[in-house]
Amino acid sequence: MDKRKPEWVPEASSDHFATNVIRGGRADASRSKGHSPSRKTWNIDDIESGLITGNRTMLAKAITIIESNSPKDFETGQELLKRLLPRSGNSIRIGITGVPGAGKSTFIETFGLYLIGLGKKVAVLAVDPSSSISKGSILGDKTRMAGLSSHESSFIRPSPSGGVLGGVARKTREAMILCEAAGFDVIIVETVGVGQSETAVRSMVDFFLLMQIARAGDELQGIKKGIIELSDLIVVNKADGDNVLAAEKAAGEYNHVLHMLRQATQDWDTKAVTCSALYASKIEEIWDIINEFVELTTENGAFLKRRSSQVTAWFETLLHEALLAKFYQDRKICELLPKLKLEVESGQAPVVYAVTKLLKEYYSGIVDDLPQASQ
Ligand code: GDP
């Protein structure tokens, strides 16, 4: 692609025209000020056009922009998402959770390569809000998926680091949209089966897979019923060598329990199966189950219904969070709130009075009609 810039820009220029016009004799001067020619700054059009042709470097660049906390990048990132959203949605989004050591990376490597063999393009993302603190299990770690990461039909991105779960999940969700726009048709989102992150991942995927291993005698201990109820499939991994029988027994026990639990997805009976990620056994069966799921949920409408309720819930959550943040960061509120709280606690002020006073203070000069504190 010819990346040269035009030598002039019309007065009513759009973004499609370059803004960096290099005047004669100045190019070297700018370089001598420390502008390395290799550190090219891409404009949004370059990124958009590169990304939609499946260019992985441009995809990575776009994700870096949406992960950035700078206000300027935030605007560019949202503009990119707006442009690319119509190209998203054409993938199967699969969430994978399981305790560290269950074999998630090994499974994703084997499963991903199997899918690529079928002609798919596979993206692997991760949600791990603890990664920046513990530096423990780095999800979406390329070194643990060596074969997959070197394949041109794959794209692997570790969890965005830093920040609270909500922020990490937002960035992964947006990265998923970008991957879809770049033509990836299977998106795998990995998370660890501890804490709240599996709920966040469940709320962004179509199919949720819980990876387990057989542990002598205590298969059902230590795993919360809640996580099983989120799952569309339980895979007991490491069913190889001496471990085959124990894995099958564990899968049997899960199947027994699953009958008594709530369905994660309308009309879909979650089941437990075994596999060996290391020896690539029963991988095809798992893909068949996922296809069966997509077929059934497409037919009964649950697939699209889930996608639309996920996006609505995400919208509402972000709106609530943004409004709350704006309120609590307001200078007047920061001054008044602690005082009123004390008055309420010591019985000097009625609660509704205090809340109404805060809202009045916040909205004064913004709107005429005040919202009621409570009804
Ligand atoms: P993760 O923490 O869930 O991502 O787990 P890993 O994929 O890193 O696997 C943890 C360990 O289990 C590694 O030593 C793997 O080689 C091993 N492992 C993973 N899958 C299998 C399997 O199917 N069979 C056996 N025997 N070992 C496995």
Q: Are residues 354 and 220 in the same domain?
A: no
Domain that holds residue 353: 312-363
Q: Are residues 175 and 269 in the same domain?
A: yes
Find out whether the beta carbon of 274 lies less than 6 Å from any atom of ligand 1.
no
The answer to which of 37-41, 90-94, 249-253, 271-275 has the lowest mean pLDDT is: 37-41
For residue 1, is pLDDT > 70? Answer: no
From 278, 282, 283, 286, give the residue whose CB has the most ligand 1 atoms within 8 Å, as the site to mutate: 278
Q: How far is the CA of 288 from the centre of ligand 1 (A)?
A: 22
Quick check: is 359 in a domain?
A: yes
Find out whether the beta carbon of 238 lies less than 6 Å from any atom of ligand 1.
yes
Phi, psi of 296, rounded to the nearest 5 degrees: -65, -45
How many CB atoms are closer than 10 A to CB 361? 15
Q: Are residues 212 and 291 in the same domain?
A: yes
Residues 210-231: pLDDT tens digits? 999 987 445 454 567 788 889 9
Q: Are residues 266 and 126 in the same domain?
A: yes
For residue 137, is pLDDT > 60? Answer: no
Per-residue confidence (pLDDT) for residue 131, from 0 to 100: 58
Report which DSSP code applies to 168: H
Quick check: is 166 in a domain?
A: yes
Residue 96 sits in a domain whose CATH number is 3.40.50.300
CA nearest ligand 1 atom 27, residue: 238
Q: Decide which of 302, 325, 355 is a domain's last residue.
A: 302
Percent of all residues in the chain with a pLDDT value above 70, rounded to a whole number: 79
Q: Ligand 1, closest atom to CA 99?
A: 3
Residues 274-322: pLDDT tens digits? 999 999 999 999 999 999 999 999 999 999 999 999 999 989 988 998 8
Q: With cut-offs at 50, 70 and 90, classify the pLDDT of residue 166.
A: confident
For residue 111, is pLDDT > 70? Answer: yes
Sign (positive or negative) of CA dihedral 237, 243, 248, 252: negative
Per-residue confidence (pLDDT) for residue 365, from 0 to 100: 63
CA nearest ligand 1 atom 9, residue: 103
Q: Decide which of 283, 302, 321 is a domain's last residue.
A: 302
Q: How far is the CA of 134 from the centre of ligand 1 (A)?
A: 20
Q: How far is the CA of 232 from the centre of ligand 1 (A)?
A: 22
For residue 100, is pLDDT > 60? Answer: yes
Residues 35-65: pLDDT tens digits? 444 456 778 999 999 999 999 999 999 999 9
Q: Between residues 38 and 70, which one has the greater pLDDT?
A: 70
For residue 27, is pLDDT > 60? Answer: no
Q: Rounded to whole angstroms, how far apart are CA atoms 356 and 26?
A: 61
Q: Are residues 277 and 350 in the same domain?
A: no
Q: Decide which of 284, 302, 320 is a domain's last residue.
A: 302
* pTM exceeds 0.75 for this model: yes
Quick check: is 76 in a domain?
A: no
Helix (H, G, I), strand (E, B) or coil at 112: helix
CA nearest ligand 1 atom 11, residue: 101
Contact 293, 266 (CB under 8 A): no
Quick check: is 19 in a domain?
A: no
Q: Are residues 214 and 187 in the same domain?
A: yes
For residue 144, is pLDDT > 70? Answer: yes
Quick check: is 179 in a domain?
A: yes
Report which DSSP code applies to 364: T
Q: How far is the CA of 151 from the centre of ligand 1 (A)?
A: 21
Quick check: is 295 in a domain?
A: yes
Q: Are residues 227 and 337 in the same domain?
A: no
- Average pLDDT rounded to a whole number, residues 249-269: 91
Find out whether the beta carbon of 240 lies less than 6 Å from any atom of ligand 1.
yes
Q: How far is the CA of 109 from the centre of ligand 1 (A)?
A: 11
CA nearest ligand 1 atom 6, residue: 103
Residues 324-365: pLDDT tens digits? 989 999 999 999 999 999 999 999 999 999 999 999 999 886
Report how far apart, in Å, the C-alpha atoms of 329 and of each of 3, 11, 164, 264 are. 44, 41, 18, 38
Q: How far is the CA of 106 from the centre of ligand 1 (A)?
A: 6
Q: Rounded to whole angstroms, how far apart are CA atoms 126 and 132?
A: 13
CA nearest ligand 1 atom 18, residue: 103
What's the domain count of the chain? 2
Q: Are residues 180 and 317 in the same domain?
A: no
Quick check: is 122 in a domain?
A: yes
Q: Are residues 118 and 142 in the same domain?
A: yes
Per-residue confidence (pLDDT) for residue 164, from 0 to 100: 73
